Structure 1
Amino acid sequence: MKWILLLLFTLPFSSVQAQNIYSKDYGNKDNPPIIFIHGGPSGNATLFEATTAEALANKGFYVIVYDRRGEGRSKDDNATMTFKESFDDLLQIYKTYNLKKANILGHSFGGIIATLFTDQYPQKVSSLTLVGALFSQQETYDHILHQAKEKFKNDPSKLKQINDIDSLNKNSAEYRKSCYDIASELNFFTMPNQTPKSQQLRNDYNASDFYKNNFRNPSSPLKFYKNEAQNNLDNKDMLKNIKKKGIPIFAIYGKDDGIFSEKQINDLIHITGKENFKLVDNCSHYLFVDQQDEFLKFIVHHRH
């Protein structure tokens, strides 16, 4: 009976494969469209899709998720991992779902893609929402390594490892990966205190087919840094220009997301305005799992 009820109350969706792009839509096509852009390079939308896509659709949105070409479920050995290719994938999503404009949600590295896309195709974007999104990459890397040096200041071997990372080419995949490895070691991506709901969401995800399809292409970052001339970006000025074009910018970040400094958060608040920004307590990088109710409330409140 439980499964019958679940089937009865599950929103209709369709799955689409086009140009090697995995995508799926949730909810009523007449509702305001939202496109979710996942992190990476080497990411996918499985966690968001499994935990949050349908919950967001239930709030009155038409939600579309997809995995970029060569990442996640959009397997493609010929993918180049460039921003242009990411834009082409996103334009294909607009075409596939007959969208003229959409609200864009960019998570983590997906926030960089979302910002660049909005700047280049402002006529296609109703609003831009940054969700724990990168926007000034070098500041993030500097902050991670500074925190690590403080943490391990009495551990000579660890301190040498951190200094070795700091001496790497700042535009290399190795540098980026090493910074995030240290951030993970410092639990920067982990919420301080799991709630019953966040634990249940993660347990359900780990037991789902979405988790089984949580494919991460290890060659993605290497290809990106080889083929994409633009990296290690600071998009603060671009965000200001997007706002000047009349496109609303919203931002929601976890108070315990250790990869962002206080200065970065304040810079972003200055850009979005306090009314369009939220810092969520007991919440790290994956806001839509850590504090899903707060995340959904924020998106609904800023419905566009």
Structure 2
Amino acid sequence: MRFLFFLLLVCTGGAKAQIIVSHAFGDSTKPAVIFMHGGPGSNAINFESTTAARLAVQGFYVITYDRRGEGRSVDPTAKYTFQQSYDDLNNIYKQYQIKSATLIGFSFGGIVATGYADKYPEQVDALVLVSALVNLQETYRTIIASCRKIYAAKNDAAGLKDLDNLEKLDRASIEFRRGCFKQASKNGFFATPNRSPDAQAIYQKLDADTLYQYYANLNNDMPSNEFWKHEKYSTINNLPVIEKIVKGGIPVYAMYGKDDGLYSPEQVNSLKAVIGTNHILYMRDAAHYLYNDQQVHFLSGMRAFLYY
């Protein structure tokens, strides 16, 4: 397995070069797949550590990178705009001499990947949404409704009061977004309660990986705050955009976990109606990081989707 590491130096208009950290796995003659991580404020190290090399074995040239100003791509001057993210992705294409690629949009990365596919369709072979945010207000409603059921069942008056206070906030605000995801984390919405032995082994490896733990536990609100300031992404609904992409001829696929508390079955069905019943996998015993929770199914799903 060939593994490459690049520091992508992006210099525009005489400005000081900035570093975009990226990695490549596999044979560069194979179909290119670019993984776009979640966040804002996250990185690609989870996917790199567990899944990227195994996906390359399936017959893909897999590229990962951290967005500017996030994770390992440190840039104090990052603008945190979608257009800058698109420009940096265009430079990833140039760096790896790729004319077109399949984009895997994970979580918030699904928003960035969808926007890129809409703006640069000639460079996208397919779009694969993995635990991807699509209609953010629906996600917030799902989180609150699920938390309310949990607190009501436990007679948790303090929890119910927290939700009441949360719902008084402006639903388009960064405070409301942050409060919703805080509730989701508190109630374990990102993890499946039924990890398979294979998944347990993957997470045990991550727990023992000090480099992964360092980046996983970085507390940096700037990317989230700045992206919200510039893009007001809390009100995004990408379903119409995805429908446009499909009508334009780019196949769109999706994978979601049934234990992912961010998405209701109704949300998954709404996406299914747009991209097609055969273009979506809804996995048991999988939550947000489904490529770890059900890695074999994720890998087989990618091959089934892209080798049609």
TM superposition score category, shorter chain reference: over 0.9
Is 1:17 paired with 2:16?
A: no
Q: How many residues align?
A: 295
SS at structure 2 position matched to 1:302: helix
Per-residue CA deviations over 1:18-74 (Å, capped at 9, x if unaligned) read 232110111000000000000011111010010001000111100000000010000
Given that residues 69 and 76 in structure 1 are in contact (C-alpha distance below 8 angstroms), is that contact kept between their aligned partners in structure 2?
A: yes
- Quote the sequence identity (%): 40
Q: Which structure 2 residues correspond to residues 1-304 of structure 1 after superposition, within 5 A? A: 10-18=1-9, 19-153=18-152, 154-208=155-209, 209-214=211-216, 215-303=218-306
Per-residue CA deviations over 1:2-31 (Å, capped at 9, x if unaligned) read xxxxxxxx4332333323211011100000
RCO comparison, higher one (Cα < 8 Å, 6+): 1
Question: 1: distance between equivalents of 2:124 and 2:21?
Answer: 21
Per-residue CA deviations over 1:137-181 (Å, capped at 9, x if unaligned) read 000001111111222133322211111111112222221111011
SS at structure 2 position matched to 1:20: strand
SS at structure 1 position matched to 2:35: strand
Question: 2: distance between equivalents of 1:57 and 1:213?
Answer: 23
Give the superposition deviation at 1:212.
Answer: 3.2
Give the superposition deviation at 1:262.
Answer: 1.7
Given that residues 135 and 235 in structure 1 are in contact (C-alpha distance below 8 angstroms), is that contact kept between their aligned partners in structure 2?
A: yes
Question: 2: distance between equivalents of 1:151 and 1:231?
Answer: 24
SS at structure 2 position matched to 1:152: helix
Misfit runs of 4+, over 6 Å? none
Cα RMSD (Å): 1.4
Gaps of 5+ in 1: 1-9
TM-score (norm 1): 0.93
Give the superposition deviation at 1:104.
Answer: 0.3
Gaps of 5+ in 2: 10-17
Question: 1: distance between equivalents of 2:221 and 2:64?
Answer: 21
TM-score (norm 2): 0.92
2:14 corresponds to: none
